[in-house]
Amino acid sequence: MMSALTAHIGVMRTAVHRMFASPLAGFLNILVIGIALSLPAGMYVLLQNAQGVVAQLSAAPQISLFLAMNATTEDIAQIRMQLAKHPGVKNIAFISRTEALTTLGQGTGLDDVIAGLESNPLPDAFVITPDSNNARTLEALRNELQQIPGVDLTQLDSAWAYKLEAILDFARIAVLVLASLLSLGLIAITFNTIRLQILTQRDEIQVSKLIGATDAFIRRPFLYFGAIQGLLGGLSAWLIIVASLLLLRQPIAALSQLYASNFSLQPLSFSDSLSLILFSVYLGWMGAWLSVARHLSQIEPH
């Protein structure tokens, strides 16, 4: 067992030596893989952060019902009763015209201006919390409540958040397509690199076959080469993402402070980081395996 482990370690050392036989070419290959992987992975991180913001904003969507200016006490009581009986309404809060005007004055600092108004321009309103967070259900509920007699206007306060969520769904598909295309490109890079390695060592491979070396023995260093190149490429992609998030942290914090928010960019989780690196190793190994399977069979001893 120890001899087999030693043999594998020796093959890995050989693969690393071949990878950096030309240091600049080896570094550029790894950098290309890292940049290509960091694009979809970085977009994934940004989407995860954006999804968290949308989840916070739309966790408790509300629908505001602004009543007609001539609504009477009886009208308000009737509307309250209808809302209380509605199966899609979870909670109801009534905001009177006087309360709304007072809150407006305190929030804007325009108490003196508001005190000089001849009449209250604000309507009575109900703020309801729906029982569902589904965008289509909310739209249907808003349209239904708009038809209640005495209701002048309904407003879905978090409608924009649902539009943003739809955009994020589209962006996820775009990231998946981009990741698939770049993955094929990385397999092609490894495929071509291994092809050049095989052509360079053609005579050595022929001699190895003459003395009885099996295809599995000859294939092994090339597979290690692809896997190690993928590993280093995945690590470089991870470093690029971490460095980019560090550079963006301060501007995001300043922007968040302007909007009185505590939002901050969250880095790749451990599981996501591990998945990125393992996926990169798999792409490198797959490209090497395809290249070896394609070209090794064409080399036969004479």
Q: What is the SS3 string spanning 247-276?
A: HHHHHHHHHHHHCCCCCCCCCCCHHHHHHH
User: Residue 301 CA to chain centroid, in angstroms?
Assistant: 51
User: Are residues 62 and 160 in contact, defined by beta-carbon separation less than 8 angstroms?
Assistant: no
State phi, psi for 267 to the nearest 5 degrees. Answer: -75, 175
- Quick one: DSSP state of residue 302? -
Q: How far apart are CA 202 and CA 181, in angstroms?
A: 31
Tokens of 291: 């290249």
Q: How far apart are CA 95 and CA 111, in angstroms?
A: 19
Tokens of 177: 């397509």
User: Is it true that domain 63-157 has CATH number 3.30.70.3040?
Assistant: yes
pLDDT at 231 (0 to 100): 92
**Core vs surface per residue 136-165: b (16+ CB within 10 A) or e:** eebeebbeebeebebbeebebebbebbebb
pLDDT band at 176 (very low <50, low <70, confident <90, very high): confident
Q: How far apart are CA 213 and CA 267, in angstroms?
A: 47
User: Are residues 79 and 65 in contact, defined by beta-carbon separation less than 8 angstroms?
Assistant: yes
pLDDT band at 66 (very low <50, low <70, confident <90, very high): confident
Note the pLDDT tens digit of each residue in 217-236.
777 888 888 888 889 999 99
> Whole-model pTM?
0.64
Note the pLDDT tens digit of each residue in 247-288.
888 887 777 676 556 666 778 888 989 999 999 999 989 988
What are the residue ranges of CATH 3.30.70.3040 in the chain?
A: 63-157
